[in-house]
Structures are given as C-alpha cells and as structure tokens.
Amino acid sequence: LGAWWSRSSSAGPSHWKELKATCGGDKQSPVNIDRRRLQRDGGLGDILFEGYDQAPPGKWRLTNNGHTVMLNLASESAFEHITISGGGLPGRYRAIQLHFHWGSPAGNGSEHTLDGHQLPMELHIVHMNVKYRTLAEAKGHPNGLAVLGFFYQVSETPNTNYNTIVAGLRNVSHAGES
C-alpha cells in the first residue's frame, strides 16, 4: 500500500493548508520537536499513569487498517483500567487504542521528527476523555483526546514487553485483517 504523500512532495504536510485552511495552524501533525527550543513548564505537573504496569484481563483486537497496525484497547476489561491524568490535562483520559508508525530498512517511519530527523518507529497511545461516551463525541471537543507519542530506536536487544504484539503481527500482514 503506497502513501499518497511524502514529506518532500507537493502533497506533503507543508502544502496541506492549500487544501484546507485549518491545516495551516500550529496544532497540526506532523510536528518537529526542536530540542534547542524546548522549555519545561513546571506548572503542568507530572502525567499520572494508572493501569500501565500490567495488562488487564480480556482479549484485545490487533488490526491492520491498511496504513498501520492498531491495537484496540476499548474492551470492557480495559475500558476504565488504563488511564492518564495530570500533566496539564483537563481531566482523566482512558486509553482506547495504540498504533505504530514505522519505516523500512530503506528509511525511518516516525510520523513526527526530532530536531528535523525521523526516527525508525513511533508509538501513539490514544486516550479519550472519560466524560465522553464515544470516540465520535470526543473528537468533537478540543479536550476530547490526548495522544502520547514515543520514539523508538533500533536495538539488537529484543524488548520482551512487545512479544504478544510482535507474535500477532503475522496474523495481520494484509489490510483488513484482525
């Protein structure tokens, strides 16, 4: 499945505002994190993680949506189990899904960049404000979603925390498979 845009093409992110004006704002993706310009805001406090220390019981669904592999966390057992709050968030947010952005041996694949450089992989954990009942409802509010992003480097040492997900990848090698 090929991408319909690239960072350097005339259909890249810098041209999206030509298609829709709101895409030219300062809260758009992808984002370049420039470490020289970062400033810590001590008033935000720490992000509080609940339920991240172990997987809740029940089954989750791993799906290839044609763009990436997504793990749906919105099962009944996980519904209120995995949450974040604090860190400047206006309430409590429950994890509903996670997905990956990865590249190939020929190139890195993170969605966002660090100091102008893509990294091999990026994980997004999507959280929904607990005051909303559905993803559609949450998307309609500026405080509806909170996404945590994590960059990854290639390592020769396997991370066994991902064994279950990695084992499931062989079952979702084609778009639409779950």
For the stretch 13-52, pLDDT in tens is: 677 677 666 666 666 788 999 999 999 998 999 999 999 9
Assess whether 93 carries a catalytic annotation: no
Contact 48, 86 (CB under 8 A): yes
Going from the C-alpha of 135 to that of each of 52, 80, 120, 139, 178, the distances in angstroms are 21, 14, 29, 6, 20
Q: Which domains does the chain carry?
A: 1-30 (no CATH), 41-172 (3.10.200.10)
Cα–Cα nearest to 146, from 165, 134, 130, 122: 130
- Active-site residue among 81, 101, 127, 132? 132
Which are the contacts of 10, defined by CB distance < 8 A and separation ≥ 6? none
Q: How many CB atoms neighbour CB 137 within 10 A? A: 13
Q: How many CA atoms lie within 13 A of 62 on its CB side?
A: 14
CA max distance for the chain: 46
What pLDDT is stored for residue 104 in this prediction? 86
Residue 5 has pLDDT above 60, yes or no: no
CA end-to-end span of the chain: 17
- The conformation of residue 14, written as its DSSP 8-state character, comes to G
Q: Choosing from 15, 52, 67, 162, which is the catalytic residue?
A: 67
* pLDDT tens per residue, range 77-133: 555 689 999 999 999 999 999 999 998 888 899 999 999 999 999 999 999 999 999
pTM: 0.83
What's the CA gap between 112 and 34, in Å, rounded?
11
User: Is 141 part of the annotated catalytic residue set?
Assistant: no
Q: Where are the beta strands (DSSP E) in 42-86?
A: 47-50, 61-64, 69-72, 83-86
Average pLDDT over residues 58-80: 80
